């Protein structure tokens, strides 16, 4: 079986969703790190940094919301470009050959 053409919109949707899932996982790790650093910064001295705990909580929660959206958008655009380039190169090379088991 030879893949000679890929629908760019279909590939972009799949890549966008996969990148959004990856963005959620990375956002969860960033969220934990940011909140841990914020709690250490607020308790580092007797006075602490005013508002450091609140800011770190907002940034941590924002990482879980913002990163999947950003990763999803860039993944969609990247998948669209990659599929279009694949279609161009597949015309020259004959496509990608896949063996079915």
pLDDT at 24: 95
Give the number of domains in the chain. 1
Cα(22)–Cα(71) distance, integer angstroms? 8
Q: Render pLDDT for 72-81 as a digit per residue (tens, 0 to 9).
A: 999 999 999 9
Identify the band that residue 60 occupies on the pLDDT scale cut at 50, 70 and 90: confident
Evaluate if residue 48 carries a pLDDT over 60: no
Cα(90)–Cα(92) distance, integer angstroms? 5
When comparing pLDDT for 47 and 60, which is higher? 60
Cα(7)–Cα(14) distance, integer angstroms? 11
- Where b means 16+ CB within 10 Å and e means fewer, 63-95 reads bbeebbeebbeebbebbbeebeebbeebeeeeb
What domain range is 49 assigned to?
2-97
pLDDT at 44: 60
């Amino acid at each position: 079986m030879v893949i000679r053409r890929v629908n760019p919109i279909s590939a972009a949707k799949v890549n966008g969703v996969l990148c959004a899932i990856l963005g959620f996982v990375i956002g969860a790790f960033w969220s934990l790190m940011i909140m841990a650093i914020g709690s250490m910064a607020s308790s580092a001295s007797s006075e602490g940094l005013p508002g450091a705990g609140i800011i770190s909580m907002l940034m941590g929660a924002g990482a879980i919301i913002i990163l999947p959206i950003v990763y999803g958008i860039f993944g969609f655009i990247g998948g669209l470009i990659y599929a279009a380039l694949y279609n161009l190169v597949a015309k020259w090379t004959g496509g990608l050959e896949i063996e079915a088991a």
